[in-house]
Every structure is written in structure tokens, then in C-alpha cells.
Chains A and B, each alone.
Chain A
């Protein structure tokens, strides 16, 4: 079945450590996205990538980094510079062209930093 896989579902890290969240898709989508969701809030865009080897900052990119070396993969690194990293992280993909009706989301990774 085609879809987006995020792993792990739950992740615990100590404060000051970098952590990388995985996102893989087999939908042959060109565009991929990372979102952050805090309790009772909407989703905020961290980074997005329209094509391999290219990515742009979203609204809250500070303290995060990404890479897009393969079409299928868009890992997100939460660095120690991110002041409040504990959150629910969602990855999404879409066919190219900014078609907002065609987003497919993963099931999310819940990151807790202690």
C-alpha cells in the first residue's frame, strides 16, 4: 500500500541532544513537508521541499534542519537550539504544484524532551 511512514511513533530524548525524525513515502510525490503541533493548537509548517536537493523554511524553522537527498525521504533533525522541542511532529507529501487538496499525512511522531 502506498503511504507515508514516520518512525518512531514515540521518542524520548534528553535536553541538549539532537534527534532525527524519519519520514519515508512511496507515493512518488515530489513535495514533502514537516509540521509541528502543540496541544490544543493547529499545525505549523517547519520546512517543506518541492523537489530533491531543495527545501525552504516554513513559519517556525529555527532550531530545526532537514535534508532531501532522495525523493522518498525527508528527515527532520531537531537540534539543541530548539527551545521547546516537545511536540507532535507530522510529515506530509503531495504531488508537485502546490495542490493543497492532495496532501497525505503520516501518523506522526510524538517527541518528548526531558
Chain B
């Protein structure tokens, strides 16, 4: 599975959009990009995933570059409850080996 690289931490003002980048330059054609987040001392929560096209759901938007080497998770209007560690994962379809790196610690500032 492709390795992903994320900044260790980011700040975002409450009410503004939070844009979390992820680099996955070695991603293969059948690997999806998944985003999860973990609020302190809880289990991770699924946010969104995609293969090639941009995706949007009630929580966030996922923008994947045309060459698929990077992606950005967008939280359109960040709230204090969005403060968490965000994990970007590249994983082959059908794989059971979902693992999490160190992620990006997002702090939403009032």
C-alpha cells in the first residue's frame, strides 16, 4: 500500500474552511484514498474516500489531483468539535490491512 505524508499539525479559525493536504506520490491505480479522524482518546471515525473523482458528503469534500499524487480534505466551516487528528490512508480495494500513520493534528481556534 502507498505511503502517505501529512503535515504534523495545522491551525484553523472557527468558521473558516480547513484544508488538510496529503501526499501519496506512489499510489497505484487501484488504491483508494481514505480519510479518518480521531478525537482525543476515542476510536477513529470515517470521513470520506475516493479513487479519482472529487467527492463530497455531509462532513467534508475530498479533492484528488489529476495525477492522483496528492489530495486535500476540506472541512467547509470548521467548528471546535472538528479539533482532532486527521489520517489520510491509501489502500487497495478489498484490503483488510487498514493502518494509520501519525496524521495531522488539526486545532480549530475560537
Mark A residues whose CB is within 8 Å of B: 4, 31, 33, 35, 40-45, 48, 50, 56, 58-59, 88, 90, 92, 97-98, 100-108, 110
Q: Give Cα distance in the complex from A56 to B32, angstroms.
A: 22
Of the listed stretches B18-26, B73-81, B91-99, chain A binds B91-99
* Contact residue among B46, B96, B100 (Cβ-Cβ distance under 8 Å from A48): B96
Q: Give Cα distance in the complex from A101 to B35, angstroms.
A: 9
Q: A90-B44, A98-B96, A105-B44 are in contact. List 15 more A-B contacts (CB 8 A).
A: A33-B96, A33-B98, A42-B99, A42-B103, A45-B97, A59-B99, A92-B43, A98-B95, A100-B49, A100-B98, A103-B36, A103-B46, A103-B98, A105-B45, A107-B42
Q: A50-B96, A97-B94 are in contact. Are A107 and B101 (CB under 8 A)?
A: no
* Contact residue among A33, A41, A44, A102 (Cβ-Cβ distance under 8 Å from B46): A102
- A101: chain B residues at CB < 8 Å are 34, 46, 49
* Contact residue among B41, B87, B95, B101 (Cβ-Cβ distance under 8 Å from A88): B41
Query: Closest approach, in angstroms, between the C-beta of B101 and any C-beta of chain A?
Result: 5
Cβ of B89 within 8 Å of any chain A Cβ, yes or no, is yes
- A-B pair number, CB within 8 angstroms: 65
Cβ of B102 within 8 Å of any chain A Cβ, yes or no, is yes
Q: A42-B102, A43-B100, A59-B99 are in contact. Are A108 and B91 (CB under 8 A)?
A: no
Residue of A whose beta carbon sits closest to that of B35: A101
Q: Give Cα distance in the complex from A48 to B98, angstroms.
A: 10
Query: Closest approach, in angstroms, between the C-beta of B110 and any C-beta of chain A?
Result: 25
Contact B100 A42 (CB under 8 A): yes
Q: A48-B96, A50-B96, A58-B97 are in contact. Are A103 and B44 (CB under 8 A)?
A: yes
Q: A42-B102, A100-B89, A100-B91 are in contact. Are A105 and B96 (CB under 8 A)?
A: no
- A59: chain B residues at CB < 8 Å are 97, 99
Contact B43 A108 (CB under 8 A): yes
Residue of B whose beta carbon sits closest to that of A43: B100
24 A-B contact pairs sorted by A residue (CB < 8 Å): A4-B43, A33-B96, A42-B101, A43-B44, A43-B100, A44-B99, A44-B100, A58-B97, A58-B99, A59-B97, A59-B99, A90-B43, A90-B44, A98-B93, A98-B95, A98-B96, A100-B91, A101-B46, A101-B49, A103-B44, A105-B44, A107-B42, A107-B43, A108-B42
